[in-house]
Amino acid sequence: MENSGLYTPEQRRRRDASRWTLVQGVLAPLQFLAMIVSTALVLYSLASGLWILAADVSILIKTALLYTIMYTGALWEKDVFGRYLFAPAFFWEDVVSMAVIALHTAYLVAYFGGIGTVEGRLLLALVAYAVYTVNAFQFLWKLRTARREATA
């Protein structure tokens, strides 16, 4: 029997039973809120040259939330699909997530390694946030798809 939906009935059952589903549901909006606050601080710092430490701390918090959601998301994917990453239903979301992680990690390397300028580092964070926003919309689309399938 072929499944054309996002989840098979068994995967839906595993998704609903996984403790990581709730964790993802809590972390996702927290990470998005952290990104909004951080974006404002980064833009203010770039425009004024002030509050650079606050901007950097906000980026570090956003990055810690990203790493946490990616780790727990891999555990969720294992629970639901039997693999940690790149399950067919979430392949492209995972691909873009890898780019998001790479960009945030590049920021960490620049920050802790003292590489580049403050402005370059803050601009790198904004690029990471732009790609993260694309990724967030990918996941919101999948959530919408899952809800539509559940009501169908």
- Which pLDDT tens digit goes with each residue over 32-91? 999 999 999 999 999 999 999 999 999 999 999 999 999 999 999 999 999 999 999 999
* Cβ–Cβ under 8 Å, residues 68 and 27: yes
Token readout for 35 is: 């990104």
Please name which of 138, 142, 63 lies closest in space to residue 95, comparing C-alpha atoms.
138
* Cβ–Cβ under 8 Å, residues 7 and 89: yes
Please name which of 66, 90, 92 lies closest in space to residue 77, comparing C-alpha atoms.
90
Token readout for 5 is: 């939906």
What confidence tier does 143 reach under pLDDT thresholds 50, 70, 90?
confident
* Cβ–Cβ under 8 Å, residues 58 and 34: yes
* Cβ–Cβ under 8 Å, residues 31 and 69: yes
HSE (CB half, 13 Å, CA atoms) of 50? Answer: 2
Q: 117-136 as b/e, with b when 16 or more CB fall inside 10 Å? A: eeeebbebbbebbebbeebb
DSSP 114: T
Where do the domains of the chain lie? 9-143
Rg (CA), the chain: 17
- What would the pLDDT profile of 15-49 be if each residue is shown by its tens digit? 999 999 999 999 999 999 999 999 999 999 999 99
Token readout for 57 is: 């701390």
What confidence tier does 2 reach under pLDDT thresholds 50, 70, 90?
very low
